[in-house]
Structure 1
Amino acid sequence: MPMGTSQRYRALTRDLMWDPKTVNTKKIYPLVEAEGIRLKDPSKWEDPFRMTFNQYVKIQSEKDQLHHAVRTAFEANYGHTRVIDGRWFEGVKAFAVAVQPAEYAAHRLMAYIGRNIPIEAIRFATFNQAIDELRHAQIEIKHYADMSKYYDGLHAYAQTNENLWFNTVPKSFFDDALTAGPFESLIAISFSFEYVFTNILFLPFASSAAAVGDEHFVSVGKSVQSDESRHMALGMSALRMLLEEDDRNVPLIQSWIDKWYWRAYRIFSVISTLVDYYPRVRPISWKKAFEIYVEEQVINGLFKDLARYGIRPPRNFEDSVKEKEHYSHATMRILEHYKHANYFRGFRLQPDDYEWLSNEYPSTFDRYYAPFFRRMDDHVMAVASPGLPAVCAVCQIPVEFPDPDHPERPWTQYAEHNGKTHMFCSPGCKQIFVEEPHKYVQWWWPAESYLNGEFGNSLEDMFKYFGFAPEEANEYYSSRDYHRWLKYRQQLGLDKQYGSIVTD
C-alpha cells in the first residue's frame, strides 16, 4: 500500500532511530542527564521543515548549480576588477578569517549535537545542517582560491586560518560550544548565533557586496542565507520544545541564553566593521542593521513571545544596545592598531567615508573616533600600538572597547581566580568567566606565545608561522595590492575610479 506524505516522512526520518535492547540508553546518551535537561516526551517534536534527505539533496544541488554558474562567470570576466574600490577585498579577507573557519567548526558541532541528543527530528535536522555548514565552508574557500590569484595574504590560506591570532576569536567561541553539553550547544549555535544574529551577518554584508559590484560574494551570501532559514527554524523550535517539556528547564535555558547572546554578539564585532568601513558604498549602517534585525525582530519581538514561558531578554542586552553607537568604530580602531599583524589591511579613510560615518553616527563618530583615524591617515605605516595587546580572557578580543556610558573611559574589567588576575573587554565577558572560570583559565594566545619563544626568535619567524609576509599587511592604499588592482582595471579599460582617492 502506498504511504501518505506524513507516513513517508516518518519512515525516511523518524524510523532511522532504534531502541537499544542490551545497553542502557543513559550510557549511549550520557550528556543529556549531565546537563540537567528534563525530557518527558520529546518524540512528539517535529522538524518544522519536515524535509527528507532526497528533498534536501535536490534543493542543495539546484542552489549549487546556480551559485557556481555565477562564480564561473565572475571569474571568467575578471569580476574583481569591476568593484568600486579594491579595498572591499580586504574586508572579504577579514570575512575569510572570521567566518569560514566558523562554518567548518559549526559542521563539527552539528555532528556532535546530533550524536548526543536522542530525539529523532533533532538528529535529522542537525545532520542536514552539518552538511550545510561544510558546503558553506567549501564555497567560501573556492572564492578565496580565486582571489589568491590576484591579491596578497591568501596563498597559504589553510595555514593562516589555523594560526593567525585574529582567528582565536571564532575559535574560542566554537571550542566553548563544543565543550558544552549538546542542548547548550544547540542553544548556542541554532538559537543565539543563527536565530539572533545570522541575518545581520549575511544580509547587510551581501547588500554591501551588491552595492560595490562583487556579484560573486552576493551569490555566496544568498546561497548561504537560504540555508540559514532552516537553521533558525531548528533553533527556535528546539528552544520552544525544551521550554514546553518541563518547567524546570526554564532557569537552565535562561542561563544559556544569557551567556551565548553575549558570546555571539562579541564574535560579530568584526562584522560591524565590514558593514560600516570596508565597503565604499554602504546600503545600511551597523547601527540600523542592529536595530532592525536584533532590537526589533528579536528583543522587542521574539522575547515578548517567550515571556509566557518565563524567559526574559538576555542579560547584558542593554549594553549591546548602548554599544551600537560605538561598536564598529571601536572594532575598526582595534584592527587599525594592529594592522601590521593581520593579513587583511586597514586603509586611509577617504573624504566620503568621513562624511558617511559622521551622518550615520552624528553623536559619536566625529567626537570620539574621527580624530584617531585622521592621525592614522597622516601616518599610515605607523604602528599605532607598539607591543602586544591585552586580550579578553573570554572572547579573546583586545580589551580596547570604550564604556558606552562614558566613551572616554575603557570598559576593561578584572576578576581574580586562583591567585591570578584576568582581564575582560566588558562586564558581559567578565560575568561569563565568573560563572565558569575553569573553561577560560587555559586559553592560548599566539602573540603571547611569540614572546615566550614558541615561534622562534625573530618577527620573521612569527610571520612564517602565520603564513604571510609583513608586506602583505598594513595599509591598503599604499600597498602593492592597490596598485595591482589599478593595473588590472587599466588593462581592461576600466580606468575610472570611484571618487577621489587620497594616498599621499
Structure 2
Amino acid sequence: MAKLGIKEKYHAMTRDLMWDPQNYDKKVVYPLIEKEGIILKDPSRWEDPFRMAYNQYVKIQSEKDGIYHSVRNAFEANDGHAKVVDSRWYEGVKLFAVNVQPGEYQAHRLMAYIGRHIPIEAIRFATFNQAIDELRHAQIEIKHYAHMSKQMDGLHNIPRTSQNLWVNTVVKSFFDDAMTAGPFEALIAISFSFEYVFTNILFLPFASSAGAVGDENFAAVGKTVQSDESRHMALGMAALKMLLEEDERNVPIIQGWLDKWYWRAYRMFCVLAALVDYYPRIRPISWKQAFETYIEEQVFNGLFKDLKKYGIRLPKFAQDSIKEKETYSHSVMRLLDQYKVANPYRVFTLQPDDYEWLSKEYPMFEQHYASFFHNNDEDIHANSHPGLPAVCSVCQVPAEFPNPDNMLELLTQYSEYKGKTYMTCSPGCKHIFDNEPEKYSQFWWPAEAYLGGEFGEDPIAGMFKYTGLTPEETGEHYTSRDHARWLEHRRHLGLDKIYF
C-alpha cells in the first residue's frame, strides 16, 4: 500500500466519520441549516487550512502547556509580582481577567454550537479543536488569576463577579447574541469578526505591555494563547471564502453579518483601548498605533481588498471606528473613572509622565481630557458617579461616547419599538438594533435592577453583595491596600521603589 501524503492522510482521518441520518429527516436533525438563507452546493470540498489531525493537535498543545507552566512556576517562585515597575498594572490585569476569561469559556460553547448545527466535516473538526483551545485558554487564565488573588483584591470570587458584575454584560451580550443567531452567522461572528479581525489587537499589544512592565507571567499567557489564534484566524478566513464561493446569493447575507459583527466586536473590545494606553507605566505601543497596524493596515487595507472580488466592501461603520481612534481610550478610561465604585478594578491618579505621554501621542488629549483627570489630583472621587451608568441596548457599553467630529455632543442614538424608546451608544449600534429590534429590546439593564429595588433597601450595599465585592476592593489604586502591600513586599525583598 502506497504511503499517504499529508493531505491524503488528513482526509482519511477526518472524513466519512459523520452519522448519515438515513432513517431521519435531515432537516429535523439539522433544523437551522436552511434558516439563514445560506446556499450550500458542495461544502464537502472545503478543507480546514491547517489539516491537523487530533494526535498532532494534542502533541503541540501539550508542548505549549509545558512551556507556559514553566514560566508561570518560575514567576510565582521568584516573587515576580513584586518586581513589576508599578503595581497599578495589576488593576488592568484584573480588568482583562473579569472580561476575557468568561469570554474564552463562552467561545468554547459557541464553537460546539456551530459544530453541532453545521453538518460539514471539515468545519466540525476545526470547531472541535477550537472549542478545546478556548477551554485551555480559560483554564490558563484562571490559573493566573488564582495566583494573583493571593496578592490582589477583586479576584477572590470570580464565579460571582463574572456572573453579576455590570461591566461583564458587555462580553456576555456579545456571546449571547452569537449563540442565539444561526450557526453560519455565529461562525462569522466568532471565527471572522472576533478571531480574524480583532484577535491580534486583543492579545499582542497588552502582552507587549506586560513584557515592558516586567509581568512575565501575563506575557507568557498572551503568547501561549496567541499561538492558537493563527489557526482560529485561518478557520475564519477559510469559512468566509467558502460561503462566498458557494453561491453569489450568499454575498448580501454575509455583508450584513460583517457590518453587524465588526461593530459588535469593536465595541466589545473598547476597554482594551484603555488597558493599552493607561494601565502600563511603560507603553511599547498606543491604542491608536495598534488600531492602525492591526485593523487599518491588516484588515481594511489588506483583507478587504482581497474580498472585493466577491462583492464585499468594508463594514458599514468602519470609518466611524477610524475616527474614534483618537478619542476611544480616553473616553473609556473616563467611564471607568466615573463608575469606579462599581468595579473590581481600581483606577488611579495619573502621574506627570502619564500626562506627558498621552499629550504626545494624542493631540486632542490636552484640550478635551486632561482637565477631567486633573480633577482627581485633589479629590479622587471628584469625577465619581453614584450607581450604575445608562448603557447601550445593543453592546451594553455606557452610551457616553463623544462624537469625534464634534466633541461637544454625544454619539447617543434613540430608536422606537412597540411604544418604548431604546438608547444606543452610536449609529453602528442603532443600525444593529433597528435591524433586529425584537432581539435587542429584551436586553437586561443592570441600572433598571438597581433603580427597581432588586438590590434591597440599601442599593449600594446590595450591589456589593450581588457582585461579591467589598467597598475596600474598589476606588483608587495608589491609596489602596493593594498598593500598600505591594510596596511592603518590595521592601521585604530589598527592591528599590521605582515609581510612586
- Counterpart in the other structure of 1:435: 435
Q: Give the distance between the partners of 1:309 and 1:107, measured in 2 at CA.
A: 30
Asked if 1:395 is matched to 2:422, the reply is: no
- Counterpart in the other structure of 1:453: 453
SS in 2 for 1:490: helix
Is this contact kept in 2: 1:414–1:421, CA < 8 A? yes
- Counterpart in the other structure of 2:340: 339
Residue 28 of structure 1 deviates from its aligned partner by 1.4
SS in 2 for 1:153: coil
Q: Give the distance between the partners of 2:351 and 2:209, measured in 1 at CA.
A: 17
Asked if 1:116 is matched to 2:85, the reply is: no
Q: Give the distance between the partners of 1:490 and 1:385, measured in 2 at CA.
A: 36
Residue 495 of structure 1 deviates from its aligned partner by 2.8
- Counterpart in the other structure of 2:28: 27
- Counterpart in the other structure of 2:209: 208
Is this contact kept in 1: 2:46–2:122, CA < 8 A? yes
- Counterpart in the other structure of 1:275: 276
Q: Give the distance between the partners of 1:416 and 1:378, measured in 2 at CA.
A: 43
Residue 387 of structure 1 deviates from its aligned partner by 4.1
- Counterpart in the other structure of 2:480: 479
- In the TM superposition, what whole-angstrom CA distance separates every residue of 1:397-420 from its partner, at most 9, and x where no partner exists? 111100011012111111111110
**Higher deviation after alignment, 440-449 or 334-343:** 440-449
- Counterpart in the other structure of 1:235: 236
Q: Give the distance between the partners of 1:314 and 1:287, measured in 2 at CA.
A: 19
Q: Give the distance between the partners of 1:416 and 1:25, measured in 2 at CA.
A: 40
Residue 11 of structure 1 deviates from its aligned partner by 2.3
- Counterpart in the other structure of 2:378: 378
**Aligned amino acid, residue 142 of structure 1:** K
- Counterpart in the other structure of 2:252: 251
Q: Calculate percent identity across the aligned residue pairs.
A: 70
Q: Give the distance between the partners of 1:239 and 1:426, measured in 2 at CA.
A: 27
- Counterpart in the other structure of 2:13: 12
Q: Give the distance between the partners of 2:290 and 2:388, measured in 1 at CA.
A: 32
Residue 439 of structure 1 deviates from its aligned partner by 1.1
Q: Give the distance between the partners of 1:471 and 1:447, measured in 2 at CA.
A: 22
Q: Give the distance between the partners of 2:435 and 2:464, measured in 1 at CA.
A: 36
Residue 212 of structure 1 deviates from its aligned partner by 0.2
**Aligned amino acid, residue 107 of structure 2:** A
Is this contact kept in 2: 1:486–1:495, CA < 8 A? no
SS in 2 for 1:34: coil
Give structure 2 stretches of 5+ with no counterpart.
Answer: none
Residue 32 of structure 1 deviates from its aligned partner by 1.5
Is this contact kept in 1: 2:375–2:383, CA < 8 A? no
- Counterpart in the other structure of 2:327: 326
**Higher deviation after alignment, 166-175 or 3-12:** 3-12
- Counterpart in the other structure of 1:416: 416
Residue 377 of structure 1 deviates from its aligned partner by 2.5
Is this contact kept in 1: 2:271–2:332, CA < 8 A? yes
Residue 382 of structure 1 deviates from its aligned partner by 3.9
Is this contact kept in 1: 2:347–2:476, CA < 8 A? yes
Residue 9 of structure 1 deviates from its aligned partner by 1.2
- In the TM superposition, what whole-angstrom CA distance separates every residue of 1:158-191 from its partner, at most 9, and x where no partner exists? 1101110010000000000000000100000100
**Higher deviation after alignment, 426-435 or 408-417:** 408-417
**Aligned amino acid, residue 28 of structure 2:** K
- In the TM superposition, what whole-angstrom CA distance separates every residue of 1:35-71 from its partner, at most 9, and x where no partner exists? 1100000000000000000000000000000000000
Is this contact kept in 1: 2:375–2:382, CA < 8 A? no
Is this contact kept in 2: 1:48–1:233, CA < 8 A? yes
- Counterpart in the other structure of 2:51: 50
Q: Output the TM-score relative to the length of structure 1.
A: 0.97
Is this contact kept in 1: 2:388–2:446, CA < 8 A? no
Is this contact kept in 2: 1:113–1:183, CA < 8 A? yes
- In the TM superposition, what whole-angstrom CA distance separates every residue of 1:91-114 from its partner, at most 9, and x where no partner exists? 000001111110000000000000
Q: Give the distance between the partners of 1:336 and 1:254, measured in 2 at CA.
A: 37
Q: Give the distance between the partners of 2:381 and 2:78, measured in 1 at CA.
A: 34
SS in 2 for 1:415: strand
- Counterpart in the other structure of 1:488: 489
**Aligned amino acid, residue 416 of structure 1:** E
CA RMSD of aligned residues (A): 1.0
**Aligned amino acid, residue 442 of structure 2:** Q
Q: Give the distance between the partners of 1:244 and 1:351, measured in 2 at CA.
A: 55
Residue 320 of structure 1 deviates from its aligned partner by 0.1
Q: Give the distance between the partners of 1:377 and 1:238, measured in 2 at CA.
A: 51
SS in 1 for 2:369: helix
**Aligned amino acid, residue 25 of structure 1:** K
Number of residue equivalences: 498
**Aligned amino acid, residue 15 of structure 1:** D
- Counterpart in the other structure of 2:404: 404
Q: Give the distance between the partners of 2:479 and 2:395, measured in 1 at CA.
A: 32
Q: Give the distance between the partners of 1:387 and 1:167, measured in 2 at CA.
A: 16
1:277-292 pair list within 5 angstroms? 277-292=278-293
Is this contact kept in 2: 1:31–1:182, CA < 8 A? yes
Q: Give the distance between the partners of 2:157 and 2:19, measured in 1 at CA.
A: 45
- Counterpart in the other structure of 2:356: 355
- Counterpart in the other structure of 1:38: 39
**Aligned amino acid, residue 228 of structure 2:** D
**Aligned amino acid, residue 440 of structure 2:** Y
SS in 2 for 1:422: strand
Asked if 1:135 is matched to 2:111, the reply is: no
- In the TM superposition, what whole-angstrom CA distance separates every residue of 1:352-386 from its partner, at most 9, and x where no partner exists? 00000000001x10011111000123211345223
Is this contact kept in 1: 2:341–2:384, CA < 8 A? no
Give structure 1 stretches of 5+ with no counterpart.
Answer: none
Is this contact kept in 2: 1:148–1:154, CA < 8 A? yes
- In the TM superposition, what whole-angstrom CA distance separates every residue of 1:418-466 from its partner, at most 9, and x where no partner exists? 1101111100000000000111111112232122222322221210110
SS in 2 for 1:416: strand
**Aligned amino acid, residue 148 of structure 1:** S
Asked if 1:367 is matched to 2:382, the reply is: no
Is this contact kept in 1: 2:178–2:186, CA < 8 A? yes
1:167-206 pair list within 5 angstroms? 167-206=168-207
